[in-house]
Structure 1
Amino acid sequence: MATLVEQLAAFTQVRHADLPPAVVAECKRLLLDSIGAALAATDSPKGRIGIDYGRLQGATGRATIIGTGDRLNIFGAAFANAELINALDMDAILPPGHVTPYVLPGALAVAEERGLGGQDVLRAIAVAHEMSWRLGKAMDYLRDTQDGKVATPPVYGYSSTVFGATAAIGMLQGLSTEVMAHALGIAGSISPVNAQMAWFDHAPSSTIKYLLGGALTQAALTAAHMAALGHRGDRMLLDDREVGYARFMGTRRWEPEVITAGLGREWHFPGETSYKPYAHCRVLHALADVLIDIVRTQALRREEIDGIKVWVEGMVERPIWLNREIHDVMDAQFSIAHGIALAAHCPPTARAWQDPALVFQPSVLALMEKVTHEVHPDYVKLLTGHGGSRPARVEVRARGTTFTGEKRFPKGSPSPDPSTAMTDAELIAKFRDNAEGRLAPAQADALVDAVFGLEAVRDFGTLMALTAPAPRHPPATAPSAALA
């Protein structure tokens, strides 16, 4: 009987013609959203550091760093793009959590380096996300419950995405099933550790975040290349419960049947992919939806607000969300008090949530002092009723009145309420906001067309070339002395 690693390796041989239309469509949406998130992050602290480190890795090549025009070797470009996609925390969400920043950058770099076509890229994106979803579902969940109470796992993280990331790279390298199995076995053995719970509990926390995207991307590149060069991987790594991957990665749950059930025939990731309308931790999105609606509907001015109370998810009673010390824009990505205060200012775009001018605006910092929270009393009940539930209740005291609102599913999530899903038009609008000031409008239009027509792209490098910043032309005439 084939091992789990061998079955996953066989899955990577799926043909483009075998991808259902819904899978192809979701891959395009993920690609466009990720490029937009990266463009928006090019001047963020984490994004700049990722670019600088990518440049340190040396020689020029054919792989593009999004938003810069730099063309480096695949290792430098993939590292930088991983950091850029996740820098503002506005990338897509898929179990086990964040997936795309880890599985996409290596594939982009290898496809561009090899001059591959859009169909190859679509296959790689699809397999990487489906594989990551399956491994994530086989392991602990961040929102685990037990006996009607929150039971957050003691060890957690997104390191299992190294398998999907390696698969995508190996597919674009043309690895055979045999060599791919070795690549996946190597990937598991060099997988980054799951340090996310320590990150949750130490605040103000590390700006590395829950997992350094660039590091995982390079582990995947290493695994694929080592197998191609002749290294042997551990094919039994996922089958051995005693000393294998599940054990040394710290998961309490291990349900390997989820990994292989319907593999190659059933695709689950499109139905569980969520998109972020705000550059902020997904935990606060339903609350932000409600609060922004109250502020706009009632035309509330910030100085009129006497207090804001919110009811939150049960899993967020940890230092990173309770933190009120905002030293860096990344601290603001997770703080409940700051996020609620900022939402009351109704940021005009997704990326505006991470604009330092707004993050550190005195009225935002002052309003933080008026924010309180409790755990939503029906959190566990609603979550167990539907896994996409993020129950949110908001009370705003202003003008001698209390304004209230509630929501179960945040905008951007697939749910029983069709209005919560982000349409293609909404994702394109988010992309255009993220691209504004980075790309010329015609360039952004061409990029949207290229992504949604990806099957017809013969050389993926032509698409990546569109992510280079628009040239800045000096004014035709010097300003007059009166205007200078």
Structure 2
Amino acid sequence: MNETKDLASWIVGLRWGNIPEAIIDYAKILVVDTLGCMLGGSIQESNKAALRYTRAMGGTPQASIVNYGDRTNVYNAAFMNGSFGHGWDFDDHLMGGSPHSMSATTAAALAVAEWQISSGREFLEAWIAGFEANNRIGAASEPGLMNRGFHHVGTIASFAGAAVASKLLHLDDWKTENAIAITVSQAAGTFQHSQRTGGAIKRNHMGFAASNGVRSALLASEGITGAREALEGKFGFVKCHAGEENKMEALTRDLGKEWYTPRAAMKVFSNCAGQWGVMDLFYALKKKHNLKPEDIEAVTCWLRPTSSWMVGTIKGEDVKDIFGAQFSARFGLGMAMVLGDNRPKAYQHNVPPYGRWKEIVEVAKKIDIIGDPEVEAAGLKKGIFGYSLCEIKLKNGTVIKGESGWPKGFPKNPMTKEERLEKFYSQALIVLPREKAEKIVGCVEKIEEMDDIRPLIGLLVA
């Protein structure tokens, strides 16, 4: 029963020389992807509302807000940049750990590293420590945490912020353990946003995660303590959030040998990853058979039960805004058929009352989403994230069937370097000139050579 203590000691003891080169290289790729998501997400309307709130609250000028350049305290900067990263639901995913934690990890690192004038090496070292620790807590909390309806972002990702901030503040083992324990008292968020259209606050779950983690580390640095055995205890985080459906051993199993960073995926679609597998499959069938909206009679998709309640509850005709659209597989597949596009601009410009939403809804009405335990079992056996089946009945009587493989963006079906950069520039160039965006990529690629992280942060301001 020393898992929290041991994890804290590992965070403190992690050094650049102990991190495999492949982990460092992939972490850089993931940071670039996340910075692009932050830049693009900074213009999202609910994030602009959060920015107005943050400006009204003020704050000691310690760290910068991406794109806008406001300087505020580290807590507020982490909140805003984390929210920006999740602004279009275009940020990372990970199977077997904590989906969606990269924006919280990066936002906390940007804020505290700028304030502490950290080096590039310190920044990435802390980033990896935070991402790894957070994913271990995520792995330990499955499947119970999700089965109970908790949202990984507001709950698990908070520990990424705490670990990152603790490392950049150079806290010792005891204070880092307390930072983790204090985070337990703040981690929160549920998946109710997936059940009804609406839920702009989901974007801010990531901001809360980053800023709560930073606050935990700051409180611990001043001597505030948290409960012992905060993760593994009888009323600790894991058992309270996951019950007996947990994998407690994942907290510390093979620390320093088993890495979660290489498992991370980069999104190619701007929506809930619960529909990622079936959407990949749907696009493949559409292309192979040259399908058009007018060809479709009916579509049936079989997903694992967890995915079906995440993305199968909201019907296409019930979508009222972008938040509901991104959690409706019916609407998303309708977009795939009508627009051939499920990226941020497509969602932004084609939800009621904009764009071609009526055409999308007409296709969405023909789509049925079914949660099937046998599909889940088959996916687990095959080891494929989001494994799905799809059957398309055409008006001419033809029936098309297919099963999904590894979705694009996962390490087993990776994006090419050109595809990754295209995604980054599609977001960064919304607010930055090309020259600045290219310099961001160059800085991250050689981040260990930076004695001061602030020039990189300066490039993130328009």
Q: TM-score, normalised by structure 1?
A: 0.86
* Aligned-pair Cα RMSD in Å: 2.5
Q: What residue in structure 2 maps to residue 54 of structure 1?
A: 54
108-117 vs 284-293, greater mean Cα deviation? 284-293
- Determine whether 1:438 maps to 2:431: yes
In structure 2, what residue type is equivalent to 1:100? M
Partner residue in 1 for 2:147: 153
Are 1:39 and 2:32 counterparts?
Answer: no
1:106-185 equivalences under 5 Å are 106-141=108-143, 153-158=147-152, 159-185=155-181
Tell me what 1:480 maps to.
none
Deviation, 1:7, is: 1.3
Q: Which residue of 2 aligns with 1:215?
A: 208
Distance across 1 between alignment mates of 2:430 and 2:231: 46
Aligned partners of 1:4, 1:210: CA distance in 2, in Å? 31
Alignment partners' CA distance in 1, 2:247 and 2:341: 43
CA deviation map 1:273-295 (0-9, x unaligned): 12210101112122222222333
Ranges of 4+ aligned residues in structure 1 off by more than 6 Å: none
TM-fit CA distance, 1:166: 0.6
Aligned to 1:474: none
Instruction: Indicate conservation of the 8 Å contact 1:310/1:394, yes or no.
Output: yes
Q: Residue in 1 aligned with 2:68?
A: 68
Q: Is 2:46–2:200's contact at 8 Å kept on the other side of the alignment? A: yes
Query: Of the candidates 333, 347, 355, which is equivalent to residue 354 of structure 1?
Result: 347
* Contact map agreement 1:396 1:402 (CA 8 A) in 2: yes
> Tell me, which stretches of 5 or more residues in structure 2 are unaligned?
none
How far apart, CA to CA, are the structure 2 residues paired with 1:247 and 1:59? 36
Residue identity over aligned pairs, in percent, reads: 22
Pick one of 238, 245, 252 that aligns with 1:246: 238
Alpha-carbon spacing, 1:257–1:304, altered in 2? closer, same or farther (3 Å):
closer
2:432, 2:341 → 1: CA distance?
19
Q: CA deviation at 1:92?
A: 0.5
User: Are 1:290 and 1:406, in contact at CA under 8 Å, matched by a contact in 2?
Assistant: yes
> Aligned ranges for residues 54-453 of structure 1 at < 5 Å?
54-59=54-59, 61-94=61-94, 95-141=97-143, 153-158=147-152, 159-188=155-184, 190-196=185-191, 198-200=192-194, 202-209=195-202, 212-241=205-234, 243-263=235-255, 265-318=256-309, 321-324=312-315, 325-348=318-341, 350-357=343-350, 360=354, 361=356, 362-375=358-371, 378-398=374-394, 400=396, 401-415=398-412, 420-453=413-446
Amino acid in structure 2 at the alignment position of 1:113? W
Determine the structure 2 residue equivalent to 1:17. Answer: 17
Assess if the C-alpha contact under 8 Å between 1:311 and 1:394 holds in 2.
Answer: yes
Number of equivalenced pairs: 451
Partner-residue secondary structure (3-state), 1:88:
coil
User: 298-307 or 161-170, which moves further after superposition?
Assistant: 298-307
Letter in 2 for 1:6: K
Question: Amino acid of the residue matched to residue 454 of structure 2?
Answer: G
Once residues 327 and 160 of structure 2 are traced to their aligned partners in structure 1, the CA distance between those partners, rounded to angstroms, is: 27
**What SS is found at the alignment partner of 1:331?**
helix
Task: Letter of the 2:227 partner, please give it.
Answer: D
Cα offset for 1:134?
Answer: 1.1
Query: CA shift at 1:130, angstroms?
Result: 0.9
Alignment match, 1:4: 3
Equivalent AA in structure 1 for residue 254 of structure 2: G
CA distance in 2, matches of 1:320, 1:407: 17
Between structures 1 and 2, the one with greater helix share: 2
Relative to structure 1, the CA distance from residue 59 to residue 245 in structure 2 (aligned partners, 3 Å threshold; closer, same or farther) is: closer
Aligned-residue offset at 1:55: 2.2
Give the partner amino acid of 2:150.
Y
**What one-letter code is carried by the residue in structure 2 that aligns with 1:368?**
A
Assess, with a 3 A threshold, how the Cα gap between structure 1 residues 39 and 258 changes in structure 2: closer, same or farther: same
Whether the aligned pair in 1 keeps the contact of 2:310 and 2:327 (CA below 8 Å) is no
Residue 392 of structure 1, CA deviation = 2.4
**Unpaired runs of 5+ in structure 1?**
145-151, 470-484
d(CA) in 2 for partners of 1:128 and 1:327? 36
Contact 2:37 2:84 in 1 (8 A): yes
Q: How far apart, CA to CA, are the structure 2 residues paired with 1:388 and 1:395?
A: 19
- SS in structure 1 at match of 2:403: strand
Alpha-carbon spacing, 1:342–1:155, altered in 2? closer, same or farther (3 Å): closer
2-structure distance, mates of 1:365, 1:293: 21
Amino acid in the other structure paired with 2:173: T
Mapped to 1, the partners of 2:60 and 2:305 lie a distance apart of: 48
Q: Provide closer, same or farther for how the CA distance between residues 393 and 120 of structure 1 changes in structure 2, counting only shifts above 3 A.
A: same
Q: After alignment, is 322-331 or 65-74 more displaced?
A: 65-74
3-state SS, counterpart of residue 98 of structure 1: coil
Give CA-to-partner distance per residue, 1:314-353, whole Å, 9 cap, x none: 2234376321211111111110210110111344573234
